[in-house]
Amino acid sequence: MTARELSPDVDDSEILELIARLDLTDVKDSPPPAQRQPPPPRTLSPHRPPTIERHTFPSIPRRGYTTQQTRTAPAICLPSPSVRTPVVYRYSTPTQQSYTTDWASAAAATQGIPQSQVKIVQGRRPRNRGKKDAYVVFYGLRTGVFRTWDEIVPLIHGVRNNIHRAYKTVAEANTAYQYAVNRSWVRSCDGTVVTGIPELPQPTQDLATINPLHGTETLTSKWYLVFRGITPGIYRSYLESQLNTLGIRGATHKSVEGRAAAVATYERACARGDVGVLAPTYFPDDVLV
């Protein structure tokens, strides 16, 4: 709409009429304002509960306090390494016999040689299967009753025919040792020869046959089997069984738990033909090699 030139004699009523016409024209020419659509209604799943929004606010630490706690890991106590007695190996061939603590050396000295063998004659410290207050050396560089394992190690180390046992009490050790001394079952030796025993122990006939060696047999219910030796059979004590195999080439023996298992094992060996007598050779000086 073009503007009209207003003359000075136009009155106020005409001016108001012109302003009203301008406002109506602007309203008709402008588009109507867009109306905001209302949001669709929320539908809730019948199997899912409505989610409730929770607002969290940062905590403000109090003066003098800390919001983080430092936890200290518990200390771990590691066991100290135990000192082990070295293992001694006896290796033999048809022409020589020697000892070493190195398994590789023993294996190299016997490899490829017929009728050669390597055996452990002194193992590590025995397992702690109970309290032991005394040890007895029946065959060794020196015999007797001793209180600690460290005392007997020098007396049996390197002695291929050594016999020693552990006992719960000193009284039991003294009783067993004295019983063996009275029957000449105790020998001091250098490890190269075994002196002959005038009266060897015999196999244990039944549970009623008890001697101080049986009553003080250490810590377990073991029974001892001699398959090949001077007198094959079942023995209640370690010493009695070893005296029937000591220093005899080809002797075989074993220990088992319980008399019933010992009898069954020995009977199976008899059925297989694995039981036999090996006679020792005595020299004029009564030495058994």
pLDDT score, position 202: 85
pTM of the model: 0.52
Residue 162 neighbours by CB under 8 Å, 6+ apart: 121, 122, 137, 139, 140, 155, 156, 191
User: Given a cut of 50, is residue 65 above it in pLDDT?
Assistant: no
User: Given a cut of 90, is residue 137 above it in pLDDT?
Assistant: yes
Answer yes or no: are the C-beta atoms of 227 and 254 closer than 8 Å: yes
pLDDT tens per residue, range 232-245: 999 988 999 999 98
User: Per-residue confidence at 266, pLDDT binned at 50, 70, 90?
Assistant: very high
pLDDT score, position 211: 72
User: Given a cut of 90, is residue 17 above it in pLDDT?
Assistant: no
User: Per-residue confidence at 45, pLDDT binned at 50, 70, 90?
Assistant: low
User: Per-residue confidence at 188, pLDDT binned at 50, 70, 90?
Assistant: confident
Q: What integer is the mean pLDDT of 54-77?
A: 49
Buried b (16+ CB within 10 A) or exposed e, 66-88: eeeeeeeeeeeeeeeeeeeeeeb
pLDDT score, position 123: 53
